[in-house]
Structure formats: structure tokens, C-alpha cells
Amino acid sequence: MAQEKILIVDDEERMRKLVRDYLKRDGFQVLEAGDGEEALYIYEDQPDIALIILDVMMPRMDGYETLTNLRKFSTVPVIMLTAKSEEEDALLGFHAGADEFVTKPFSPKVLVARVKAMIARSSDELLSPAPADELPGVLEAGNLRLDENAHVVTVEGKEVLLSVKEFELLSYFMKNRGIALSREKILNSVWDYDYFGDARTIDTHVKKLRSKLGNCGSYIHTIWGMGYKFEIEDEDYEKH
């Protein structure tokens, strides 16, 4: 099996080497970039990159700007690294489209474990395809359509580009239509069980998801003090 490609984006050569050594030890092919602009060029040239580890504080183009530009044309999983510990910085990263957020200093072994878990989730169907009659179907609600096999979401017939986490969150909502879901339950179901997040992380993802879904964003209802519920009011729902 071909080695999965991981792109490390960090202006500190020492940090890149540390992460690179641990990733290579686990069999990954590693590419490196010293800033955001270089990272975008590399990804455009090699779109088969499986995951990007992206530092926040960099010259020329920081991690937030890099991720914002990347999300215009790709949903590749992204783990952001930062030396900052403020909650607002993590929320900025999630708002820009990050899938995970790791604060320096961190354990390289834990980072590699997160990389492996994220790649396994995003490529599970390719690595272990189920029999044709057991493949997940298409979820439809109003003008919203989610194809789990093709990993495509369309709103009124037009494709919408979602990050990995946004896609997983929408899929979870649609599969639990009409059910009130607490923020804790959403965290446990959509994020890893060991994910150290909080309610604001979910709120940020929901806000971004609603914006991308346009009119269909209204299907996601806020239950104040608890969480969210996916439901279409005054409209018949039919799954084809």
C-alpha cells in the first residue's frame, strides 16, 4: 500500500524535523513547507496529500489565512498547531475550517495518533469498502442532499464544499432528524472521545455549517441551554 502523504507547514525547521521523524517512523511520507504560500503551492501540485499539519504563527501568510484559502478548493483534513493557549485562537482555527487544534508544547506520539485516527475516519470507505448492498445510502431533507459514498453535499442541486468535520456533523444531524442532541452527545459522537473541546467548539462549527448551507441552514435548530435539533418545520420529509 502506498504511503499516506502528510504535509507539515511550520516556519521552525526544528519543529518540522521533530514531527517529521515521528511520522516517518510510523510509515508516512512527509512533505514540508516553511510558510503558507509554499504550502498552497505544494498542495496544488500534489492534491493526493492525505492530511496537513498547519502552524498558526508564520511569516508571509499565517495559518488562518492559509487555511481560509485552502478551504476555497479543498476539504483535506487539517490539524492546526499553535503556541497560543487562548480559547479564542482555537475558535478562529475551527471557524476557518480546521478539523483539530493542538497547542504547543505537545506530545509527538499523541499528534501522530491523532493523524492516524483522522486519516482512518476520512478514508475508511476506501480502505475497507463494504459490500454494495451494505453501503450507506443518500440522506435527503428538503433541498438538502448528502451522499456518504461520494462525500458530497448539495443544496438545491448545487454542490457545497464542507470540511471533514462539517460533513460528519451534518451527517450526524441528518441521521438523528427530529432528535434533541446535547452538545456533550455531539462532541462524543462526532469528535474523538478524548477530544478536549467545549460547547463553543460545536457552536462555531454549527455557525459555519449553517452559513454554507444557505437557506437549508435553518434546518438546524438551536435548543437553548442544551444543544441542537435537525428538523424541517411545516414540510414533508422523504428519504429516497
pLDDT band at 238 (very low <50, low <70, confident <90, very high): very low
Among the listed ranges 23-27, 142-146, 222-226, 228-232, which one has the minimum average pLDDT value?
222-226
pLDDT band at 131 (very low <50, low <70, confident <90, very high): very low
Taking the C-alpha atoms of residue 34 and residue 55, their distance in angstroms, rounded to an integer, is 10
pLDDT at 60: 83
What share of residues in the chain are helix, strand, coil (percent, to 5)? 45, 20, 35
What are φ and ψ of residue 191, in 5° steps?
Answer: -100, 165
Residue 150's domain spans which residues?
132-230
Does pLDDT of 120 surpass 60?
Answer: yes
Question: Has residue 55 been placed in a domain?
Answer: yes
Residues 106 and 197 in one domain: no
Does pLDDT of 2 surpass 80?
Answer: no
Q: What is the Cα Rg of the chain in Å?
A: 18
pLDDT at 125: 42
Kind and range of the H or E run holding 63: helix 63-70
Contacts of 200 (CB under 8 A, 6+ apart): 87, 91
Question: Which letter does DSSP use for residue 4 in this model?
Answer: P
Calculate the average pLDDT of the chain.
Answer: 82
Residues 36 and 122 in one domain: yes
pLDDT band at 119 (very low <50, low <70, confident <90, very high): confident
pLDDT band at 182 (very low <50, low <70, confident <90, very high): confident
Of 74, 103, 127, the domain-final residue:
127
pLDDT at 123: 63
Residues 122 and 137 in one domain: no
Taking the C-alpha atoms of residue 104 and residue 119, their distance in angstroms, rounded to an integer, is 22
Residues 137 and 225 in one domain: yes
Residues 173 and 151 in one domain: yes
Q: Which residue has the cell 470540511?
A: 163
Residues 97 and 138 in one domain: no
Q: What is the pLDDT of residues 132-144, one digit of tens each?
A: 344 456 888 989 9
Residues 117 and 174 in one domain: no
CATH of the domain at 57: 3.40.50.2300
Are 52 and 25 in contact by the 8 Å Cβ rule? The answer is: no
- Show the cell assigned to 134: 451494505
Q: Which residue has the cell 483539530?
A: 100
Question: Has residue 235 been placed in a domain?
Answer: no
CATH of the domain at 147: 1.10.10.10
Does pLDDT of 130 surpass 70?
Answer: no
Kind and range of the H or E run holding 173: helix 164-175
pLDDT band at 235 (very low <50, low <70, confident <90, very high): very low
Per residue in 115-130, is it b (16+ CB within 10 Å) or e — as a string? bbebbeebeeeeeeee
Q: What is the pLDDT of residues 73-86, one digit of tens each?
A: 888 899 988 876 55
Query: pLDDT higher for 235 or 53?
Result: 53
Residue range 194-209: mean pLDDT, rounded:
74
Of 127, 158, 184, the domain-final residue:
127
Residue range 98-126: mean pLDDT, rounded:
79
Does pLDDT of 127 surpass 80?
Answer: no
Residue range 163-170: mean pLDDT, rounded:
88
Q: Which of 210, 205, 215 is nearest to 142 (CA)?
A: 215
* Number of domains forming the structure of the chain: 2
* Omega within 30 of 0 (cis) for the link into 105: yes
Question: Has residue 136 been placed in a domain?
Answer: yes
Q: Which of 100, 222, 115 is nearest to 168 (CA)?
A: 100
- Show the cell assigned to 171: 451527517
Residues 148 and 60 in one domain: no
Residues 110 and 190 in one domain: no
- The pLDDT > 90 percentage for the chain reads 35
Question: Has residue 157 been placed in a domain?
Answer: yes
